[in-house]
Amino acid sequence: MKTRMHRLPDGRWHPAEIVFWLVPVVAFFLLPDYLILGSQILIVGLFALSLDLILGYAGIVSLGHAAFFGLGAYMAGLLGAHGWGEPLTGLLAAAAVAALAGWLCSFLVIRGGDLTRLMVTLGIGLMLFEAANKAAFLTGGVDGLSGVTMNKLLGMFEFDLFGKTAYVYSLVVLFVIFLLVRRLVASPFGLSLRGIREGARRMPALGTDVPARLRAVFTVAAAIAGVAGGLLAQTTQFVGMDVLGFPRSAELLVMLVLGGTGRLYGALVGAALFMIAQDVLAGINPVYWQFWIGLLLVVIVLFARGGVMGALSALGRRRHPSEPARKEVDA
């Protein structure tokens, strides 16, 4: 029986990673008519990245991750609607509120097994959704929170109708947070998360405080989700109740399945694949587009274990069987 060995990655960038990040830069110049969609893809990719951190690395399943996304969105939106339209501090406030909520919820989430975590996270998400609905005087209820006004980014770049500033802003925030998460999962802390995922009962024997590690990573993931929600509120200047809805959490899981869990790039690829497919298929048939998304999901699960990134990794090993399996920084 072959034992899977985990080693700390060396942190070097693979040429494919550089090409990956050049794609959205080139898209900014070549696809100016799709910048609004592009910014949405980048934001959702950041949101998916936050879930991959807890699901793909720590093994914490969640059906209510949209709760932290929504908290961040409402925090940034409320600040913008009440006179504080500075984008960067708004993002920090969104991250702080989501992180605090994530830390408080983590004490409940880490108790029990996968089914317990599913129910707890689902319950938290549903409660926050109903709370936002009841607090219509603050959140706008079903009509949404409008009147969000943003100042110029860095005092120079105004949010325009074509989405240029929103796209660059979202891309820079995503890239910076990706660098931080990439460094985090490549650290001894990240290695311990993988150990917890594959054998939580064995890790205390190595001196690992499992509950503390899980609370920490859950808090970090919640903060990142809050940043993604804040970005959505700032770039669209509107917050609807759907940011807290269960469908958003469910779609996030679909994205991770498509791209591949436990691979940071899998979250980004899955988000892009889902959002582009949704846009194209909804344009063809606005009623039955989910059928084709479901079919794509079934095909990926049956014929591409580990999602798109898993399939690419398997293809690379087949082409170079003599080389040892490369330890990905994002795997």
- Name the band, by pLDDT with cuts 50, 70 and 90, for residue 83: confident
Q: Is residue 105 part of a domain?
A: yes
**What integer is the mean pLDDT of 103-120?**
87
50, 224 contact by CB (below 8 A): yes
pLDDT, residue 31, reads 92
Burial class (CB in 10 A: 0-12, 13-18, 19+), 199: exposed
CA 132/CA 135 separation, integer angstroms: 5
- Region of 50 please: left (phi>0), alpha (psi -120 to 50) or beta: alpha
Full residue range of the structural domain in which residue 34 is found: 17-246
* 189 alpha-carbon distance from chain centroid: 20
Cα angle: 202, vertex 49, 296; to 5 degrees:
100
Q: Which single residue is written with the structure tokens 């969609």?
A: 37
Cα separation, 289 vs 310, whole angstroms:
25
Write down the pLDDT at residue 325.
Answer: 45
Cα gap 135→87, rounded to integer Å: 25
94 occurs within a structural domain: yes
Please check whether residue 48 lies inside any domain of the structure. yes
| Residue 317 domain flag | no
Report residue 87 as tokens: 């984008």
**Other Cβ atoms closer than 10 A to 34:** 17
Q: Is the Cβ–Cβ distance between 249 and 66 less than 8 Å?
A: yes
DSSP H helix total and E strand total for the chain = 13, 0
Per-residue model confidence as pLDDT tens digits over 310-322: 777 777 777 766 5
* 284 CB burial (10 A radius; 0-12, 13-18, 19+): exposed
Residue 327 pLDDT greater than 60, yes or no? no
Its pTM stands at 0.90
> pLDDT grade, residue 20 (50/70/90)?
very high
CB-count burial class (<10 Å; 0-12, 13-18, 19+) for 298? exposed
| pLDDT at residue 115 in the model | 85
pLDDT at 3 over 50: no
Q: Quick one: what percent of the chain has pLDDT higher than 70? A: 92
- pLDDT at res. 158: 87
**pLDDT level of residue 35 (50, 70, 90 thresholds):** very high
pLDDT tops 80 at residue 201:
no
Q: How many CB atoms lie within 10 A of CB 130?
A: 12
Beta bridge partners, 157, equal: 153
CA-based nearest residue to 38, from 272, 330, 242 = 272
Backbone phi, psi, residue 157, to 5°: -110, 115
273-307 pLDDT, tens digit each: 999 988 888 888 777 778 888 888 888 878 777 77
Assigned token pair, 314: 């398997």
pLDDT for 10:
54
Q: Which of 158-167, 225-234, 306-315 has the lowest mean pLDDT?
A: 306-315
Overall average pLDDT of the 256-270 stretch: 90
Q: Yes or no: say if 51 and 109 are a contact pair by the CB < 8 Å rule.
A: no
On whether the CB atoms of residues 239 and 74 are closer than 8 A, the answer is yes
Q: Return the pLDDT at 320.
A: 64
How many structural domains are present in the chain?
A: 1
pLDDT at residue 5 above 60?
no
**Weakest mean pLDDT among 147-151, 222-226, 293-297, 302-306:** 302-306
Q: % helix / strand / coil in the chain, to the nearest 5?
A: 75, 0, 25
* Pick from 128-132, 181-185, 227-231, 258-262: least confident: 258-262
Looking at residue 11, its pLDDT comes to 64
pLDDT at 12 over 60: yes
Confirm whether 326 is domain-assigned.
no
> Is the pLDDT assigned to residue 326 strictly greater than 90?
no
**Residue 267 lies inside a defined structural domain of this protein:** no
Q: Which of 15-29, 46-60, 104-118, 165-179 has the lowest mean pLDDT?
A: 104-118
Q: What are phi and psi of 112, to 5 degrees?
A: 85, -175
Distance between CA atoms of residues 250 and 254, nearest Å: 7
- Answer whether residue 147 is part of any domain: yes
Is 208 contained in some domain?
yes
Q: Is residue 45 within 8 Å of residue 201, measured between CB atoms? A: no
* Per-residue pLDDT at 146: 85
Cα 62 to chain centroid distance, Å, stands at 12
Q: Determine the average pLDDT of the residues in 265-280.
A: 92
* pLDDT confidence of residue 329: 42
pLDDT at 138 over 70: yes
